Amino acid sequence: MSATIIDGKQVAASVTEAVKSVTTALEKDASVKPGLAVVIVGNDPASHAYVSSKSRMAKECGFNSIQHTLPEETTQEELARLVETLNADESIHGILVQLPLPKHLDADPIIQSIRPDKDVDGLHVVNAGKVATGDLDGGLVSCTPAGAMVFVRRTHGDDLSGLNAVVIGRSNLFGKPMSALLLAANATVTTAHSRTKDLPAVCRNADILVAAVGRAEMVKADWVKPGATVIDVGINRVPAPEKGEGKSRLVGDVAFDEIAKLAGVITPVPGGVGPMTIAMLMANTVIAAQRAYG
């Protein structure tokens, strides 16, 4: 058996097409253009690449797309003041502060100072709390888990009753909200992490296995139940001497080639969850804009 490979770019394109239609209607009916402000501090090349993709897609969706690029030496107070300004700006419906921030800055008070109704990352405790309590319509759901759930629903439907789901990773950005979303859809959920005993055995129990550990190809074929749905959230750069000296390539947290032979469904890296994160950010921004003029 070999797995069905999910085309994340194609699914993401259908989400962004829907976002574009809503954006057009909002402009026509209410003269409102969704506004997304993306804030990046410092020089991390990977973060700059992500932020450029987000800003570019926001423009493509017809948004008012604003990028604030702040120097590495920005102070906590300067960043806090920018968030305050964006909170008060009526033309901005979504605010995203790219993480990680430089080490001298404390991300949590910054994230918690974003107005929850503009928190299109879904990281404010109000939004995280809504997801944790199963209120999925009132707030804004964190983009990467929301995107991963689109794949899960397309494979298994809306009701995951009777299915075992294992999420490897317990971060606030992904693992915790992912587990909460699976639970809200009636899956039986295990949140595994670095202190979990016999992780391969725990994973072998999963009908839906979601890996977000940040370690290249850590999940091996003998960790996977035949026929399982495997969602790979990792993006790891590894050396690729076969492409030439000093070259690298991107791989996920799962050993794709060997697992694709036995899984039922699998997401590739790149081209799986990654494009969905950006698409769901666009969806959250248009939802925030709609609610502002509700």
Member of 18, 66, 80, 99 binding ligand GUN (CB under 6 A): 99
Asked if 39 touches ligand GUN (CB under 6 A), the answer is no
Nearest-angstrom CA–CA distance, 66 and 92: 9
Task: Identify how many contiguous H helices and E strands the chain contains and give both numbers.
Answer: 10, 11
State yes or no: 81 annotated in a binding site: no
Binding window for ligand GUN (CB under 6 A); candidates: 77-85, 92-100, 132-140, 253-261: 92-100
Q: Is 290 a catalytic residue?
A: no
| Helix (H) or strand (E) segment spanning residue 22 | helix 8-30
Q: Judged by CB under 6 A, does residue 277 bind ligand GUN?
A: yes
When the beta carbons of 144 and 191 are compared against ligand GUN, the nearer one is: 144
Ranked by CB distance to ligand GUN, the top (closest) residue is 99
- Would you state the structure tokens that stand for residue 86, as one six-digit string? 């964006």
Of 119 and 207, CB closest to ligand GUN: 119
Read off the tokens for 40: 């990046």
Q: Which residues pair with 67 in a beta bridge?
A: 38
Answer yes or no whether residue 253 interacts with ligand GUN by CB under 6 A: no
Any catalytic annotation for residue 54? yes
Question: Of these residues, 119, 121, 232, 253, which one is catalytic?
Answer: 121
Nearest to 8 by CA among 238, 284, 277, 221: 277
CB 70 within 8 A of CB 40: yes
Nearest approach, Cβ of 174 to ligand GUN (angstroms)?
A: 8
> Please, which residues have CB within 8 angstroms of residue 58's CB and are 6 or more apart in sequence?
36, 38, 65, 282, 285
Q: Rounded to the nearest whole angstrom, what is the least distance from the CB of residue 146 to ligand GUN in the complex?
A: 10
Is 98 among the residues that bind ligand GUN (CB under 6 A)? yes
Is residue 170 marked as binding? yes
271, two tokens: 């081209």
Among 271, 283, 272, which residue's Cα sits nearest to residue 61?
283
Q: Is 171 marked within a binding site?
A: yes
Q: Least separation, in Å, of the C-beta of 173 and ligand GUN?
A: 6
Cis peptide before 145 (omega within 30 of 0): no
Residue 80: what residue type? A
C-beta of 26 vs 269, nearer to ligand GUN: 269
Is the Cβ of residue 111 or residue 260 nearer to ligand GUN in the bound state? 111
235 is in an annotated binding site: yes
Q: What CA–CA distance (Å, rounded) separates 109 from 258?
A: 43
Binding residues for NADP(+), by number, are 169-171, 235
User: Residues in the site for ligand GUN, rule: CB under 6 A?
Assistant: 96-99, 121, 143-144, 173, 277
Binding residues, by number, are 169-171, 235
